[in-house]
Amino acid sequence: MTLLLAVVAGYAFGSVPAVFLFVKARTGVDLRQAGSGNVGLSNAIQQAGLGIAGPIIAYEVFVKGALPVFLASRFVLDLGMSVQVAVGLAVLAGHNWPIFLGFRGGRGLAPSIGVLLALNPLLLVAYGAVAAGLWLFTRSSPVAWLISMFALPGWVVAFRLPGELFIFVGVYTAIIIFRRSLGNWPGPQVERVFAANNGRILLNRIILDRDVASRDEWLKRRPRAQSGEEVERP
């Protein structure tokens, strides 16, 4: 019962669309209908300016991501590592598929950093260091984080971390890949995983986090209507 309640609470907390609400209140822009269509940090900065990055990152990392896991830790409620992992994954699921936005959320990078910070700071340092190094080489943030994510199980072994973290990195990887595969367009998404007209689109989504190889072309496309109907194909 404790585990179930913790998961439900984590999902509900993760579902609070803070980035969407902040940008909407400040600029009137609906992130679902602008830029990439994503309600995450990158699109928020593109629509509202770099000045919003600080408070949004602080909230997403320390409040949405780290706080629920910290509350479940031995420092507060002492619910055990299994509950901490479950809460962290529930928060990420809520962020990516928020009930308050019709299950259309962000990518979960900032909250995942907070979750890892609360679960095991050493694992977070390795995750971030590899991603930063790869970014210097690839100049592609989606590619760098994806490769670094696949290295997480190796770090769990190398650092002799608790076995529950294997479950976390495995489910976390599945969440990120599935969320990327759905694409950025607003509107119904699940069908679009299977409706992509060729494998290249799906591969672009998973690796580059967009439908096309060109980032400029992707950012300049016209958004779809709220219903999910296509205005212009990328």
DSSP annotation string for 120-139: -HHHHHHHHHHHHHHHHHH-
Looking at the structure of the chain, the number of domains it has is 1
pLDDT, residue 202, reads: 83
Intervals of the chain under pLDDT 50 = 186-191, 193-194, 224-234
φ, ψ for residue 41 (rounded to 5)? -65, -45
Does a structural domain hold residue 88?
yes
* Residue-number span of the structural domain to which 47 is assigned: 2-220
Full-model pTM: 0.85
pLDDT, residue 28, reads: 87
pLDDT, residue 51, reads: 84
Tokens 């689109």 belong to residue: 201
Kindly list the distances between the CA atom of residue 141 and the CA atoms of 26, 146, 154, 158, 168, in Å, as whole numbers in the listed order: 27, 8, 21, 25, 22
C-alpha–C-alpha distance, residues 20 and 96, integer Å:
12
Give the tens place of pLDDT for each residue, 167-189. Answer: 999 999 999 999 888 876 544 44
Does a structural domain hold residue 46?
yes
pLDDT, residue 227, reads: 39
pLDDT, residue 158, reads: 94
pLDDT, residue 104, reads: 83
SS in 3 state form for 44-80?
HHHHHCHHHHHHHHHHHHHHHHHHHHHHHCCCCCCCC
CB 62 within 8 A of CB 121: no
Does a structural domain hold residue 229?
no
pLDDT, residue 184, reads: 63
